Chains A and B, each alone.
Chain A
């Protein structure tokens, strides 16, 4: 008799979503000028969760002005006082983490297991880490008394809504900046809940402003002349557009963009852990991760063995209700993203790669894509070059370490890479030759607030996390 896990849904009752939300400007929620709204849906069911305001250019202006006004006092506060606000925020996040995890899972579609065990702990940790920097900036290696930049305009993506918010807001506030943040159009809710956390923490009004909206809101924000700093995480195409927008201004810019990470498996790899790392690398968050290990480079001599093991492991992935505690792979975030993944996967087939997916029943409502593997992929295939941002792994082979490095680096991107080998010298040699900002050796997709994260080449510039992450928000 098979061991079938009974449904184990996390309770929705811990989160109370209002039917509508306004913009959070100058410490209060207000409707958008013009009164435009849009709906946010749960990607796993297509249920409408709430209606949120579409910020106009006027709203952007109001938010930037509020942030500018708040900047004077906020930046003049002793660092130790700013620190305590951030510590408060970190603690409130810890207290409300279950609620926020459920909320994030509802709005994003990712498994509760991930929001509970990865997103939320990292969010709290990030605030906790940067809180401690606020009164130690003199010691951060940027010279004495480094100054904040002013108003930071921050635009974040939908794949880790609250975590990306934390990556942006925590260092900005610690350094003494004020912020106007725009969450992604499809995942606005956790940022709006964060506004409430700012209220509970007693954060002075105007220090954090949250504007919901679409790409036009983001464009208005980064183009606003009152913004001193632009931080963006998202697609490389939009990142380039932003770089053009801020050209010729004094705005400091950091960009965290796309990737096509190579996960390199040598013949002496710890195979079982490598399989876990490959699975984690591409199916964590449905592969909607900029640093995903979306290209598997496997040494030809162990290809069959590794792929057998990988397929066996993929067959045990549990795809379905994101709120179920046993779900490994949740929903794709939007119909639009699903269409993009589908189109790229279809191109893989059309270009001659061999497609495989485990038998798995996908829910009828919502946006779903089965974990998928492509073999017989070459560097020339689109699925080996373009970021799919979905649960689709392209498998390529190599014969020697030099070939592995050459293939791994043969990309416009340079965000992440993985190395699996039990040989220390090879690991270090390969790590030093990879043109990527984060290299995971015998592990993958690990994050920590102390660890700088960011890309080479078209994966962007600047680092988030660690001491390095402060630089983006200081006039140094």
Chain B
């Protein structure tokens, strides 16, 4: 009996909740760690990035305006959906990163758990990093974290899924929207994650996933005036410096690349990196102008 010929998957970008091909029509070959062909991935252009930024901006109002509880529910839903497709991702991560099945499974499990971690943060971070300030005057004064806006991310190059989740989940947990350029050599788990997000109640445009070469795509992203912050996790030092210089044009918040153990406790650093503190003052004063002594 001849072996059944499998059906290949056409990997596509995830932009504005849809799965477009690159507008450039270009693809590049993705191989496993041994050089075996896995798939062709879209080679995103600057225009794809621009479209993704437009989609992310469009989604920002609704996503940042959603209740923190609602965002938490949606992030948790992502974890549920990812759990349901665990086997697929274990296989993709194993291929992508050249890991054994068990090691790949550990990566996927950690990625699922990371969604759960950030799902729980959405309605707590404001209490942890915000609060009332005891100003010396008759004023009510309160500081609250607010999402920075549109955040563009160069995903970690080595950790194709866990690293990716570790950089996008905190952005959207805080209410910002994200455009991420997946690991250049291992983009397939990222592109598949788009399918999970699309079925997880994440509004279109909140997460936008591009594949291709960060060095090609990102200079225009870092210079884009409608991007509020960049996370350069997966950029090498030379590229990161150039991107940081470009980002200065509109004073984007920049998270520089640094060695990170993606399997370690993530803390809140990446969450707070994309939050702005807003402080609101309002007079209080006394109840009245005086009383009676009759």
Contacts and interface: CB of A to CB of B under 8 A. Distances in A.
Direct contact of A and B (CB under 8 A): yes
Interface of A: 125, 141, 143, 236, 239-241, 243-244, 247-248, 250, 255, 257, 412, 427, 431, 434, 436-443, 446, 448, 450-454, 456-458, 460-461, 463, 466, 468, 476
Contact of A244 (B148, B245, B277, B278): B245
B134 interface: yes
A450 B133 contact: yes
18 contacts: A141-B129, A236-B251, A240-B248, A248-B241, A437-B276, A437-B277, A437-B278, A437-B279, A438-B279, A443-B283, A450-B133, A450-B135, A451-B135, A452-B277, A453-B279, A456-B278, A457-B250, A458-B250
A441 B135 contact: no
Nearest to A273: B283
Contact of A466 (B128, B133, B244): B133
B69 interface: no
A231 B175 CA distance: 27
Given A125-B136, A439-B279, A452 B143 contact: yes
A451 B143 CA distance: 8
B283 A442 contact: yes
A427 B282 contact: yes
B245 A448 contact: no
Contacts of B281: 438-441, 443, 446, 451
A323 B278 CA distance: 36
B249 interface: yes
A141 B268 CA distance: 11
B237 A460 contact: no
Main secondary structure of the interface of B (DSSP, over half): mixed
A438 B137 CA distance: 17
Given A141-B129, A448-B135, A448-B136, A457 B280 contact: no
B228 interface: yes
Given A450-B135, A452-B133, A431 B280 contact: yes
Contacts of B228: 457
Interface in B246-294: 247-251, 253-254, 256, 267, 269, 276-283
Contacts of A468: 129, 143, 277
A244 B137 contact: no
B135 A436 contact: no
A64 B128 CA distance: 36
B244 A452 contact: no
A257 B137 contact: no
Contacts of A243: 244, 247-248, 251
B141 interface: yes
Contact of B279 (A141, A143, A236, A451): A451
A125 B137 CA distance: 13
Contacts of B136: 125, 448, 450
Given A141-B129, A448-B137, A460 B251 contact: yes
Interface in B215-255: 228, 237, 240-241, 244-245, 247-251, 253-254
A247 B237 CA distance: 10
Contacts of A255: 251
Contacts of A436: 278
A247 B245 contact: yes
A412 B283 contact: no
B277 A463 contact: yes
The winner among A239, A244, A454 for most chain B CB atoms within 10 A is A244
Contacts of B143: 451-452, 466, 468
A248 B251 contact: no
Interface in B150-200: none
Contacts of B279: 437-439, 451-453
A315 to B, nearest CB: 26
